Amino acid sequence: MSKQQSVKLTDYVGFDTIAAQIGKKIFKKGLNFNIMLVGESGSGKTTLVNTIFSKNFLESSGRKQAAEKSRKTTEILITTSVLTESNAKVRLTVIDTPGFGEQINNENCWVPLVKYIKDQHVAYLENEIKPERERVIPDTRVHVCLYFLNSGYRGLRQIDIEVLKRLCEVVNVVPVLSKADTLTVDEKMKVKEKVREAIELHRINIYPQPNPQDDQAEIELNNKVKKVMPFAVVGSNLTYEEDGEIIKGRKNPWGIINIENKDHCDFVLMRDFLLRTHLIDLVEVTSYKYYESFRTEQLQHIRDMRGAQPAQTTQQAQQTQQAQQVQPTQPTQQAQSANPFSIAIPAQQAKSPSFTKPSVQSSRKYISNALSK
């Protein structure tokens, strides 16, 4: 029988350096931070990310030449950069989605987005349950999705509602009102109100969501942030001089917009939110909420399959990209009902290899299952 007691120390012992120790270990391991940008071309996605990190390291994916063809579908464009700030190193992956919402008919434009997000969960799970797995599992899971709203529209469009609903099921979503320099103070307030109303009405669970483990300070901070959301931002890395001060912003014939001025836009609030206060939380929530529910679903599915057919090992669909033993031709009658993983339980089967990567076909299947709910 173990008993637990709470002890208040009187002398300084020194284990409050835990935070620094953990920090050091994390940075040694390497922190991955993966941001997905969703919004129509020209909504300011690339500029905003460049502004957040104060460096033009990303290139816009928009169509800039007459001879360039318009994209016919939503594409996934990944850029990974290693960012260093004092002794901290972050591996930042930006997932751009050119082509989103740009067609005349935008039905199903969200499918490639959800698929990409789920594929990362698949890859992570696959690595996690390997009998011999790496010390650090490469984390490509999307930690936050910035959804760019059209600042001219008063509220949410039909496409926004459809996409936001689906994205919020699989990833942390932060809505952003970019190019907010065309909204007067009044208009900004009205647009934000309308957007918040629509989000509530359609029950879209944007980040941050209340968490029973939050303490009072965290709850307060979250409430403060929620009052400002969606962030009305302006992006720019250009600087101008005004009254002897260097201003980062945009210059027009009628004035200079200072993006770091809280009266001009919410850029500073958003940047601090993403990087200075909620970065780790975004990573954690991705892990314990979205990834965890995916994992539970998958493993439950496997268990059910095993329960249904105890004698057979789970078979894999035809296409396999197996680095280990070559799988002899498997009977395909189970291909349709097979779950994405074919996991050999060492105790039952010595012959077949540990498992195979889920084929593209099967991962689409579970997405279509999820979408049809």
32 near 89, Cβ under 8 Å?
no
90 binds other proteins (CB under 8 A): no
Shortest distance in whole angstroms from residue 189 CB to other proteins: 11
Whose structure tokens read 């279509």? 368
For 296, the enclosing helix (H) or strand (E) is helix 292-308
201 binds other proteins (CB under 8 A): yes
Shortest distance in whole angstroms from residue 304 CB to other proteins: 36
d(CA 107, CA 261): 39
43 binds other proteins (CB under 8 A): yes
142 near 171, Cβ under 8 Å?
yes
Q: Which residue in the set 88, 255, 288, 309 belongs to the binding site for other proteins (CB under 8 A)?
A: 255
d(CA 340, CA 327): 16
Binding track over 290-329 against other proteins, x by CB under 8 A: ----------------------------------------
Shortest distance in whole angstroms from residue 369 CB to other proteins: 22
96 binds other proteins (CB under 8 A): no
Shortest distance in whole angstroms from residue 244 CB to other proteins: 17
CA distances from 284 to 172, 288, 292, 333 (A): 11, 6, 11, 40
d(CA 317, CA 267): 48
237 binds other proteins (CB under 8 A): no
Q: Taking the CA of residue 266 as centre, how many other CA atoms within 13 Å lie in the half-sphere pointing to its CB?
A: 25
Binders of other proteins in range 57-86 (CB under 8 A): 60, 62-68, 70
d(CA 279, CA 30): 14
190 binds other proteins (CB under 8 A): yes
Q: How far apart are the first and last CA of the chain?
A: 46
User: Please, which residue, 197 or 292, has the CB nearer to other proteins?
Assistant: 197
181 near 265, Cβ under 8 Å?
yes
Q: Which residue in the set 119, 181, 266, 281 belongs to the binding site for other proteins (CB under 8 A)?
A: 181
37 binds other proteins (CB under 8 A): no
Residues binding other proteins (CB under 8 A): 40-43, 60, 62-68, 70, 102-107, 150-159, 161-162, 179, 181-182, 184-185, 190-191, 194, 197-198, 201-202, 250-258, 261, 263-264
